[in-house]
Structure 1
Amino acid sequence: MPQVLNKQVADIGHGLMGMTWTDTPTPIEDALKVMKRSIEVSGGRVAWNGGEFYGPPEHNSLHLLKAYFTKYPEDADKVVLCIKGGVNMQTFQPDGSYELLSSSVDNCNAILGGVKKIDQFEPARRDPNHTPTQIIQNLARIEKEGKIGGISLSEVGEQTIREAAKAAEELGTKVSSVEVEFSLASPDILHNGVAKACADFNIPIYAYSPIGRGLLSGKVKSLADANWFAKISPRFQEGNLEENLKLVAEVEQLAEKKGCTPAQIAIAWVKNYSNKPGMPTIIPIPGASSVSRVEENLNSTITLSDDDMKHLNEAVEKVDIKGGRYPEAHSKLNWG
């Protein structure tokens, strides 16, 4: 099993965003059943990923977590909890200052009310007004104060990772994970130095959107089929989606051959790279907002042979994915 902060976790984690940051939030009792099943499917040890801004101030990931661990306090040690924050909630811009980061952590801990410690805290994006070293110094101070268990980073590039990792080492701590997008439709980390930097510093990667925001599930054939955030993604717009479905067809073909779902193939492809030569530990964290989806997406029994990987990687090379990962207005802080 992979290790995060010296704790074993299942090789597939669970992204909580879709239960609160969506057009139709999951009813609280249903969400608790989903979260309970997430632990069960994972064999009693799993990484969960949530956010301070995943939903409105009165109902975000922290509120779900408070409800869950109040009902199931015995499960607190079964979850490695990573929380995104560090965003000015008035401007919705990242702020790497000690004051904002500390306030963000304090708010998250206040909502949790002591039912669960934040094992890992990560600024959602790198604040370009602070150097990676400054951000790490501020996070290390918060860690030393005992408010968080570890430091993580999100949506960062190779140079930020390297500088941050060195700064953390000098302070006697470490970067405990890096969260970045990684999927058949977004294989960037294989070529932009991010995976190599994480491998060099033995930093696990949380791979978010391993199903490409639903694209690779095979269930999205038109923009109308896309979920909440995907509807504004360039990849789902007319003219782009038609081209991108060529990659989906290859995934569907393999899924039919192996008797599983396209989403399971997409997640297995991500998982297959974990700890390969020159690669770090990679833990896909698909979203799941229903029990059936948890059982599908967190099923780690799906494996891919060398021939399967060759088929998929040839498809990735052959199909030129059209459209960016985010709308242009949201893209300026990518790979920060």
Structure 2
Amino acid sequence: MQERLLGRSGLRVSALGLGCMGMSEFYDPKGMSDEESIRVIHRFLDAGGNFLDTADMYGMGRNEALVGKAIADRRDRVVLATKFGNVRNANGEFLGVRGDAEYVKACCDASLTRLQVDHIDLYYQHRVDPNTPIEETVGAMAELVQAGKVRHLGLSEAAAETIRRAAKVHPIAALQTEYSLWSREVEPEILPTVRELGIGFVAYSPLGRGFLTGQFRTIDDLAPEDYRRNSPRYQGENFAKNLDLVKKIEELAKLKGCTPSQLALAWVLAQGDDIVPIPGTKRLKYLEENLSAGNLQLAPEELEQINNVFPVGSAAGERYHAQAMKAVNQ
């Protein structure tokens, strides 16, 4: 697998990462299998991938423990990324965001324990705390670097001005924010900002939380417990409008001789060598499909066709429900 540099940090990662969130929560919870998930992680590493993405909130820590178990005998082959900042209680209820220094350090120690590692390669603030200056948060994260617990720092869903302020405290290796054909909001301001500052861009949900794969035709294709049922883009008229867009992508994929998900991933990869998508899956067959997208080359005229089908702002509905939207681009 090809590799890409995350900005000017010197951190080299596989051009495709592996998002591990759905292995422990949110997507079809009853369909989760730790054994299958570990096979997926091992296959990803054997195929030349090295970039694994998790967070302390995924499965209330279970996802970090799962990833730690999967990489226990192959830690040297992994660029390990995890996140802190989203606070949940024992029942899983979201309580808000914290970025104060005490919380940052406590979260890092807890993640190291669950992951069973002595350092984290890339440590992100998952969401920006509106009640704590970013200088305090990144300052505490910088102390983790000095202590050898963390190698590189990242932010997630941060606004351009926040990114600039953070970068004055300590170099930021990567910004992780949603980016796909149906989530192109970063293009006018965020992408130019990180490129100016020499920060890599990690694109989460590059397949639109699965919608761009073409596997969903009605809301009933989602398991009853699947959290995407609450996503505005999966509901009512929005679902129908977005499905019409995906059908056009399916037509282009057929002409290209690939699947819609491969076309969507190849499009993200083609947006710049500083962009690393991290599609998530807990199934081997979907992993293999995603890996093949790394070899798919799109000609300029093909990119133009895709952009004409899915221009900026074409997706119907917000990408999160109203409360969650308050935490993005902060």
Calculate the TM-score normalised by the size of structure 2: 0.91
- Counterpart in the other structure of 1:27: 33
Q: Which moved more, 1:226-235 or 1:294-303?
A: 226-235
* Distance in 1 separating the partners of 2:11 and 2:177: 21
User: Which of 210, 221, 225 is 1:225 aligned to?
Assistant: 221
**How far 1:237 sits from its partner (Å)?**
0.4
* Number of equivalences: 317
- Counterpart in the other structure of 2:287: 294
- Counterpart in the other structure of 2:309: 315
Q: Do the aligned residues in 2 keep the contact of 1:288 with 1:297 (CA within 8 Å)? A: no
Q: How does 1:154-233 map to 2 (within 5 A)?
A: 154-168=156-170, 174-191=171-188, 193-226=189-222, 228-233=226-231
* Distance in 2 separating the partners of 1:66 and 1:238: 39
SS at match of 1:92: strand
Q: Do the aligned residues in 2 keep the contact of 1:120 with 1:148 (CA within 8 Å)? A: yes
Q: Do the aligned residues in 1 keep the contact of 2:182 with 2:314 (CA within 8 Å)? A: no
Structure 2 alignment gaps of length 5 or more: none
Calculate the TM-score normalised by the size of structure 1: 0.90
2:36 counterpart letter in structure 1: D
C-alpha spacing 1:144/1:254, structure 2 compared with 1 (3 Å)? same
- Counterpart in the other structure of 1:96: 99
* Distance in 2 separating the partners of 1:151 and 1:294: 27
Q: How does 1:42-81 map to 2 (within 5 A)?
A: 43=48, 45-57=49-61, 60-70=62-72, 73=73, 75-81=74-80
* Distance in 2 separating the partners of 1:282 and 1:318: 18
* Distance in 1 separating the partners of 2:288 and 2:186: 27
SS at match of 1:134: helix
**How far 1:265 sits from its partner (Å)?**
0.6
SS at match of 1:326: coil
**How far 1:325 sits from its partner (Å)?**
0.4
- Counterpart in the other structure of 2:321: 327
**How far 1:179 sits from its partner (Å)?**
0.3
User: Which of 99, 106, 109 is 2:109 aligned to?
Assistant: 106
* Distance in 2 separating the partners of 1:36 and 1:163: 38
Larger RCO: 1 or 2 (CA < 8 Å, sep 6+)? 2
Q: Do the aligned residues in 1 keep the contact of 2:182 with 2:312 (CA within 8 Å)? A: no
Q: Do the aligned residues in 1 keep the contact of 2:119 with 2:148 (CA within 8 Å)? A: no
**How far 1:318 sits from its partner (Å)?**
8.5
* Distance in 2 separating the partners of 1:222 and 1:100: 41
**How far 1:294 sits from its partner (Å)?**
0.9
**How far 1:295 sits from its partner (Å)?**
0.7
**How far 1:251 sits from its partner (Å)?**
0.9
* Distance in 1 separating the partners of 2:321 and 2:78: 33
CA-based RMSD of the aligned residues comes to 1.7
* Distance in 2 separating the partners of 1:226 and 1:235: 13
Structure 1 alignment gaps of length 5 or more: 169-173, 276-280
Q: Do the aligned residues in 2 keep the contact of 1:13 with 1:298 (CA within 8 Å)? A: no
**How far 1:249 sits from its partner (Å)?**
1.5
Q: Do the aligned residues in 2 keep the contact of 1:50 with 1:83 (CA within 8 Å)? A: yes
Q: Do the aligned residues in 2 keep the contact of 1:94 with 1:123 (CA within 8 Å)? A: no
Q: Residue by residue, what CA displacement relative to the aligned partner does 1:27-62 show, whole Å, maximum 9, x if unpaired?
A: 222111100111122x2x4211101111034xx221
- Counterpart in the other structure of 2:46: 40
1:315 counterpart letter in structure 2: V
2:180 counterpart letter in structure 1: S
SS at match of 1:24: helix
1:199 counterpart letter in structure 2: R
Q: Residue by residue, what CA displacement relative to the aligned partner does 1:148-187 show, whole Å, maximum 9, x if unpaired?
A: 111110111111111111221xxxxx10111000000001
